[in-house]
Chains A and B, each alone.
Chain A
């Protein structure tokens, strides 16, 4: 059979000789499965490598690259937002302070909240999921790597636009949830609220894209044998979070766009004089906003569930209970949103229902906490930094969760709503419930990502300074709220008596900063000045990401694993250990069935391309244009339409390569 003739319209090779072209057509099809040192392994590494140079940088779509970019960028935004927080503490440390004026202060707290929630907390969790999940489930890339790459560029551009707006005195100044009418057409003067709406559009688009990618990855790309019951808890947490995101984020994207329509097109969704209702925005925002805090909290619970077994040297007690708790928490979180609106004139009976729901969600969280404590009680403990941060998480999250129960009660909330009591609560749950596990995860997976261990000594100092600092900064705020201090005030008079505790809080912030500084030093020292390499599994953990070298090969696995238990590295080797037969010359992976993870099809991952980046740029053009001009909203759609067209358009070279491996169903 003459294959060369059978293939119609093969492009004539222009630069290579015909002989060479025919030689490469007859090049043998190299398949994987032979292990680390083989020819196939070397070919795999070549296939999975990013292209060099600027073009390569912009077109990379490996999940490790994208995930790492998300995490690093998120920490940069968190640092900037943290500086804003420090400025606020300083301004409020003394009565009648003139460190910053009211306008700048209003922008500071709005930017702090917006950047922390939209540009740090959710993206960092998604970034970790993008990096860790494919390694943990035994595959080479996520399902839609270009979509996640585009999501990253959208995230970066959106964040840059927001901070650019802030730098030009156009930062949002109506708080991180931008209530109308304050952020509406009449009272939201200038472009500040427009930039906030734009940022929300960016971050929701980005979040949704990553969520769809992760959901599909977890459902369809798991290693053979990794049934849903054998799936690690962190993967469950990522799945629950991603599904929640798909249901909740459209609401705020819709809402922010309705506010934009009110501002730019003269609609009346929130204008009470013309049939609209300011309270509608609150419903729209908080229906998203409450699940959103769970987008941040549930992955963190996943971190804790990944770390405790390793440092207790035993499998998790109550694995199935924790899975059910995660799912229940996800569902229940959609039924709480009105607890942010208890001070409005909604009917009292309705509000009481939300009190009951808000109390109810404590139960699955409590179940997880008890299961964790049981695991610790039954284990043998390795007291290293990741575990220290998990212990800190218990302490601080519990305080936050319990003040949450207090806030869930309608009558009590009427006293402490919109005061520093809420500020204390939200920081305790976010820092305790998310940032402590995040640091734990960082110390835990750092050797996997970089191949080096962070310093234990600096890690302990970091932990203790941060633990003390957080409590010193935020605990007094409970008392300040009870003493009548409302939120979002740029100053206060001496007669209020709030100065003493505010000063304590500011001092605590300084200790926080010290701890964070030590962490930064630890990072820099380790990355740039340490030469000692970490092994594949420095913690002796049981899940699949620890079966590959540190840092992982570009293809993740030279042969995809086959699993038969929840901790594959801890269990005795099974009869079938790995997959063979996938291509080493194109980026190929394996899809499996949803529930039982039986091998289903081979799957050709897309090669690196510049289009995700170009598409993100074109969306930026559209959004920025539409903020300044109403027709821009329509005409500006042309660049993204073109970019997505070019993205989709088949690449002949790639198609020819992939056709060599095609198999019909």
Chain B
């Protein structure tokens, strides 16, 4: 999955706050490191050399000891002050994170599954809600409040360029607030080991300019586009009658199961399988035929179908913009 995926390239206020904190800490820690190592180096450099047979020095050396004691005390005092400063910086950053204004937030209910992300966009009117998977769109400049739940094991939602991570823990509900201030595609990945294919549980957050976002949202709210060509019709027929409908939902058709990603607008997404394959016609057909080849161990079984049928299904799904 392509996208900006970097703690050091913040695209929103949460990530920016953390980037600033990182810089403060990096500078402070580097200074401490350099000072201490230089002190050690000077001590090693200046101390005379001896052999194992040299007589050990048991003299009290009061003046030297007093000087060293002073240095150690200053060292501890300095370290304590620096730590206090860093503690303050940490608290300030923490408060900044929780101070994101949330007026007019887009509300998303994110459920983590082994190994994909289910996203329901909430609304005050039930008929305006819709589900998608693995690819979230958000409007630039508007806050997003994501409710995090897990269905099976612990996952973690992390889009580094937008914010820090938050765990999705079964039986517990948490929220994370973020905002994208620049348009672009931001990649994320599950950050808590969740089993076999934890490595292939990516997601993208696409920040659209507000007008583009409204267009996307309107499109997502509509039921699935009706098939227009014969091939697409054949594809729909196969999707409804084979194992696809046992797990997937396509609104407006007879496929209504909720155990796998919602496919109503699957063609509007760039990738399949939470970043496993690109959503092109050929790869889509291969994915349908045998998802296990790309992402072994997931719940989607291989489909024993003729190449024509696979092409038809791929065509139909490819029409679901």
Contacts and interface: CB of A to CB of B under 8 A. Distances in A.
Q: Do chains A and B touch in the complex (CB under 8 A)?
A: yes
A440 B54 CA distance: 21
A403 interface: yes
Contact of A377 (B32, B47, B170): B47
A419 B174 CA distance: 21
Contacts of B72: 318, 321, 367, 370-371, 374
A524 interface: no
Contacts of B44: 376, 381, 391
Contacts of A278: 154, 169-172
A344 B86 CA distance: 23
Interface in B43-95: 43-44, 46-58, 61, 64-65, 68-69, 71-72, 75-76, 79-80, 83, 86-87, 89-91, 93-94
Contacts of A272: 170-172
Nearest to B158: A486
B94 A394 contact: no
A379 B47 contact: yes
A486 B190 contact: yes
Interface in A74-102: 101-102
A73 B10 CA distance: 48
A542 B33 CA distance: 32
A51 interface: no
B52 A482 contact: no
Nearest to A309: B56
Interface residues on A, range: 35 or more
Given A378-B64, A398-B33, A343 B7 contact: no
A181 B155 CA distance: 11
B118 interface: no
A343 B153 contact: no
A180 B173 CA distance: 16
A483 interface: yes
Contacts of A273: 171
B90 A187 contact: no
Contacts of B172: 272, 277-279, 344-345
Interface stretch (A15-23, A407-415, A653-661): A407-415
Interface in A261-303: 272-273, 276-279
B256 interface: no
B275 interface: yes
A570 interface: yes
A59 interface: no
A318 B49 CA distance: 22
Contact of B90 (A179, A355, A379, A538): A355
Interface string B287-302: 0000000001100000
B242 to A, nearest CB: 27
Given A369-B36, A484-B7, A381 B50 contact: yes
Given A312-B47, A411-B18, A352 B91 contact: yes
A477 to B, nearest CB: 14
Interface string A527-547: 000000000001110100000
Interface in B24-51: 25-26, 29, 32-33, 36-37, 39-40, 42-44, 46-51
A406 B169 CA distance: 25
A315 interface: yes
A182 B21 CA distance: 33
A500 interface: no
B97 A411 contact: yes
A215 interface: no
A343 B156 contact: yes
Nearest to B49: A381
Contacts of B68: 317, 374, 377-378
Interface centre among B5, B65, B80, B191 (most CB of A within 10 A): B191
Interface centre among A403, A496, A567 (most CB of B within 10 A): A496
B2 interface: yes
Interface residues of B, number: 91
A229 interface: no
B314 interface: no
Contact of A495 (B2, B42, B55, B174): B2
A398 B76 contact: no
A101 B295 CA distance: 11
Nearest to B46: A377
A406 B26 CA distance: 8
Given A103-B297, A418-B191, A484-B7, A181 B90 contact: no
B6 A398 contact: no
Contact of A542 (B56, B158, B165): B56
A373 interface: yes
Interface in A405-435: 405-406, 409-419
A186 B170 CA distance: 13
B198 A488 contact: yes
A539 B56 CA distance: 11
Nearest to A496: B5
B152 interface: yes
Contacts of B37: 394-395, 398
Nearest to A489: B199
Contacts of B58: 314-315, 567, 570-571
Interface in A346-404: 348, 352, 355-356, 359-360, 362-363, 366-367, 369-371, 373-374, 376-384, 391, 394-395, 398-399, 402-403
B174 A344 contact: yes
B192 to A, nearest CB: 6
B46 A383 contact: no
B77 to A, nearest CB: 10
A411 B13 CA distance: 13
Contact of A380 (B47, B69, B94, B296): B47
A410 B40 contact: no
B263 interface: no
B143 to A, nearest CB: 17
Interface centre among B69, B97, B187, B198 (most CB of A within 10 A): B198
A182 B7 contact: no
Contacts of A181: 152-154, 170
Contact of A493 (B80, B93, B164, B275): B275
B22 interface: yes
A376 B56 contact: no
Given A367-B72, A378-B64, A415 B87 contact: no
Interface of B: 1-2, 5-8, 15, 17-18, 21-22, 25-26, 29, 32-33, 36-37, 39-40, 42-44, 46-58, 61, 64-65, 68-69, 71-72, 75-76, 79-80, 83, 86-87, 89-91, 93-94, 97-98, 114, 152-154, 156, 158, 160, 163-167, 169-174, 187, 189-200, 275, 296-297
Interface of A: 101-103, 106, 174-175, 179, 181-182, 186-187, 272-273, 276-279, 309, 312-315, 317-318, 321, 343-345, 348, 352, 355-356, 359-360, 362-363, 366-367, 369-371, 373-374, 376-384, 391, 394-395, 398-399, 402-403, 405-406, 409-419, 481-484, 486-493, 495-496, 538-540, 542, 567, 570-571
20 contacts: A273-B171, A277-B172, A317-B65, A318-B72, A370-B75, A373-B43, A374-B68, A374-B71, A374-B72, A381-B49, A402-B29, A403-B29, A406-B26, A411-B21, A412-B90, A415-B160, A416-B7, A419-B191, A488-B193, A488-B199
The 5 closest A-B pairs by CB, nearest first: A272-B171, A414-B164, A345-B174, A489-B199, A380-B50
Given A317-B65, A413-B164, 15 more contacts: A179-B192, A272-B171, A277-B171, A343-B165, A352-B91, A362-B83, A366-B79, A378-B64, A379-B47, A381-B47, A381-B50, A382-B50, A398-B33, A398-B37, A414-B164
